[in-house]
Structure 1
Amino acid sequence: MTVCKHHRTCLFGAFVLCFVFSQVAQAESGSWNRFHGIDGAGLVADGQIPDQWGDGDYAWCYKFESRDVGSPVVANGRVFLMASNPDQDKISLQAFDLASGKRLWSKAFDQPEHHLHRRNTFASSTPAADDSQVFVCWCDSSHTFLKCFDHEGNEIWSRDFGSWQSQHGFGTSPRIAGDMVLLFNSQQSEQLKPGQTAGRSRMIAVHRTSGATIWEQPLNTKRSCYGVPAIYTASSGDKQVIDANTGNGLFGLDIKSGALLWNLEVFDKRCCSTPLIVGDIAIGSCGSGGGGNQLVGVRIPKSAQEKPVEVYRIAKGAPYVPTPAVKDNHLYMVDDKGIASCIDAITGETKWFQRIGGNFGASPVIVGNKLLLISLEGEATVLKAATKFERISQFDLGGPVGATPAYADGRLILRVGQELRVLKGSTL
């Protein structure tokens, strides 16, 4: 048995139960069931994390064969995440007991090698889960898979939506919306190599229990985009699926039929972050590795007679890959080059703007009144989640971090290098 040097309970292929968790206040929910948490806001209002922690403070950790950027999710006391094994051309869905660290099961699938951006990994997608099922997606050049499993690892249904065309590889994630599972299948038509065929973009809704297609809505194909759909509920009770891409900009679809209700072409670059809804403002961003990032707030039209209106546009400190966290109608964000800021999500007014350093791919999360930012280099920065800047701590986690943390049942779940780590609790 191989254990990680920093903690005796960090396991490779096995587990040890030799710890006791501290008693901590429970979060708003015992689940973190999709990318960036409940509603994609990256917020656990009544959770707690320590100001700082070290190697000896982890309850357990598990070492994988590779480093991946797909984030963990938690439902019913179980941690689910994707992992890859490029040496064996495999990708897998893994399940762990949150309390003990025991690996409950692993389901492996073929994953032929294909082109990726240098910061991307084969297991870059984040599962979505409810109390009994978990949904995962991944792709290669010929296939786009969406699969459903129960919590014991039994496959319930499987779909293949065909070929995937992208410059940077896969990166989108499914989400649950009522009886549906949504998949944003955004592909590439620009910047292709000779001989490559343009992809076909669409939003896909399938039935949660059967996997049967409910609707597909074609979307304009320019550059592959990766945001997990948001759900907007109008004052009438009608719901919309909100997302962002280069071809349509910010857009809203009728959740029942998939029909395009509105769109506003506000982006000229790739959209990697997940859109957010604050009040009647839809928020998305675009950018590139070379810069030119923009974060845009658009007022959602109240009727078919109204048009969407751009309310604000922010270039300074706008994120390309990381998704902002939301608390009390404010966005807490970090751009890819290590500039953190807080803005009013309704007006776009900047409250504070501060360079913290590093490069970023993981999204900020807010636990209680603390804002956690973790750089690609593995440096964690804890700030006060408030409209006045206050740094609490800054420390090294000891490995690179590209995956967004999760928080559930009083525990912070991190993916650091090749390791899945779980922090004991708030009172160390």
Structure 2
Amino acid sequence: FPVSTSQRKHQKNSHASPTPIAAEDRVFVHFGHLGTAALNLDGSVVWKQTSLEYSPVHGNGGSPVLVDDKLIFNCDGGSDPFIVALDRRTGKVAWRTPRVTDAEKKFSFSTPLVIEVDGSRQLISPGSGQVDALDPDTGRSLWHYRYGEGFSVIPRPVFGHGMLFVGTGYERTYLHGIKAGGRGDVTEANARWVISRSAPHTPSTLLVGDELYFVSDAGIASCVDARSGELHWNERLGGDFSASPVFANGLIYFTNERGTTFVVKAARKFEKVAENEVGERTLASLAAAGGSLYLRSDVHLYRIQEPTP
């Protein structure tokens, strides 16, 4: 995909920020407004889609999700935002749904989430001013929840206990607990709680059991009751944060932009059990797989695990 030197991006961003998807014999790569492609496992290109034109602000951010035979992602540029589904076999547009929002600033960077409510699947897509729920098969709008003038929404929503946990972006960041489901505008009917103190603009939240954990961009970590929003603890970790917290083996890992990881027990009482650092700029979230943690800094990819006896 050609990249013009005139295409501006945020200093924390790259032209390859979206996360790829590996599924069976295909790898799907997404570069936002620059295009999307499917590759064979040998790296050969199966299809390439470059017809979806929109004007990015600060570069590309949100990643696609794979739902059956469709690759779905948000296209929230400077104007006329929309959500689109591509046929995974051909790359052709399967459906395209405009995002109807009153937000003055339209651009956002979130990744959709597929949930099941009352026996049916719904695609949850946050954007500027509101979060939308769509039918992933057809793109039909099901319901929306308005949170006002929020824009540049980055965190992926989290679902549990019949609720969605959604961040609102700038200017002032809020975290909303929302009952999932309904029809049309559910803003008043589905609102359950709102948090403004130490809400994250960039990192996504983490649900473990009945508790919701999150860290603000300024490094303040919090634990709240997911159903009520009641605060259990609020602690300053230190540093700035872009990476989302990760849960593994009963522990929560918070990694800041300096490459320092704070390891905290998943509990209603704050207890830090370790602090480790690689000393390199780290914006990506940790990945946990096969008994190992994978950390990607600006210069290295690390695999971290318990020593083998």
Indicate whether the TM-score tops 0.5: yes
1:364 maps to 245
1:391 counterpart = 2:281 = no
Q: After superposition, what is the alpha-carbon deviation per residue over 1:340-388, rounded to whole angstroms, capped at 9, x for unaligned?
A: 0111222212121111111011111111211111111111111112222
- Offset of residue 293 of structure 1: 1.1
- Residue 188 (structure 2) pairs with residue 281 (structure 1): no
Is 1:181 the equivalent of 2:64? no
How far apart, in 2, do the equivalents of 1:128 and 1:231 lie? 15
In 2, the alpha carbon distance for the partners of 1:210 and 1:405 equals 32
Question: Which residue does 1:294 correspond to in 2?
Answer: 174
2:306 corresponds to: 426
Determine if contact 2:144/2:185 at 8 Å carries over to the other structure.
Answer: no
Where structure 2 has 5 or more consecutive residues not aligned to the other structure, the ranges are none
Corresponding residue to 1:228 among 108, 111, 124: 111
Separation (CA, whole Å) in 1 of partners of 2:36 and 2:287:
22
Q: Distance in 2 between matches of 1:422 and 1:131?
A: 24
Following the alignment from structure 1 to structure 2, what is the Cα–Cα distance between the partners of residues 219 and 356? 37
> Where does 1:17-166 land on structure 2 (aligned, <5 Å)?
109-113=1-5, 114-139=7-32, 143-166=33-56
Query: Aligned pair in 2 of structure 1 residues 219, 396: CA closer, same or farther (>3 Å)?
Result: same
| Partners of 2:88 and 2:67 in 1: CA distance | 9
- Give how far 1:130 is off: 1.5
C-alpha distance in 2 between matches for 1:339 and 1:386: 16
Instruction: State the secondary structure of the residue aligned to 1:110.
Output: coil
Letter in 2 for 1:208: R
Give the secondary structure class of the aligned counterpart of 2:19: coil
Relative distance call for 1:329 and 1:203 in structure 2 (3 A) is farther
Q: Is the 8 A contact 1:406 1:412 kept in 2?
A: yes
Residues 276 and 138 of structure 1, relative CA distance in 2, 3 Å threshold: same
Query: Under a length normalisation based on structure 2, what TM-score does the superposition of the two structures give?
Result: 0.91
Q: Are the aligned partners of 1:294 and 1:318 in contact in 2 as well (CA < 8 Å)? A: yes
Change (3 A) 1:161 1:348: farther
Q: 1 CA distance for matches of 2:136 and 2:15?
A: 30
Equivalent position to 1:241, from 123, 135, 149: 123
User: Shift of the alpha carbon at 1:300?
Assistant: 2.0
| 2-structure distance, mates of 1:267, 1:156 | 41
Report what 1:96 is aligned to.
none
- Verify: 1:382 aligned to 2:274, yes or no: no
Q: What is the rounded CA distance, in whole Å, between the counterparts of 1:305 and 1:124 in structure 2?
A: 32
With over 3 angstroms needed to count, the CA separation of the structure-2 counterparts of 1:176 and 1:396, relative to structure 1, is same
Aligned partner letter, 2:111: V
1:399 and 1:306 map into 2 onto residues whose CA distance is 44
Give, in angstroms, the shift of residue 408 of structure 1.
Answer: 1.5
User: What are the superposed Cα offsets for residues 178-223 of structure 1, whole Å, 9 maximum, x if unpaired?
Assistant: 22111111111xxxxxxxxxx3311111222222222111113633
The separation in 2 between residues aligned to 1:374 and 1:265, in whole angstroms, is 31
Distance 2:150 2:99 in 1: 16
Partners of 1:267 and 1:329 in 2: CA distance: 28
- Look up the SS of the partner of 1:117 in the other structure: coil
Residue identity opposite 2:42 in structure 1: E
SS, match of residue 35 in structure 2: strand
Structure 1 residue runs without a partner (length 5+): 1-108, 189-198
Deviation at 1:150, TM superposition (A): 2.1
Change in 2 beyond 3 A, CA 1:267/1:408: farther
Deviations 1:16-55 (A, max 9, x none): xxxxxxxxxxxxxxxxxxxxxxxxxxxxxxxxxxxxxxxx
CA distance in 1, matches of 2:265, 2:147: 32
Cα offset for 1:337? 0.2
User: Which has more radius of gyration?
Assistant: 1
1 or 2 for the larger relative contact order (CA 8 Å, sep ≥6)? 1
Q: Is 1:169 equivalent to 2:28 in the alignment?
A: no
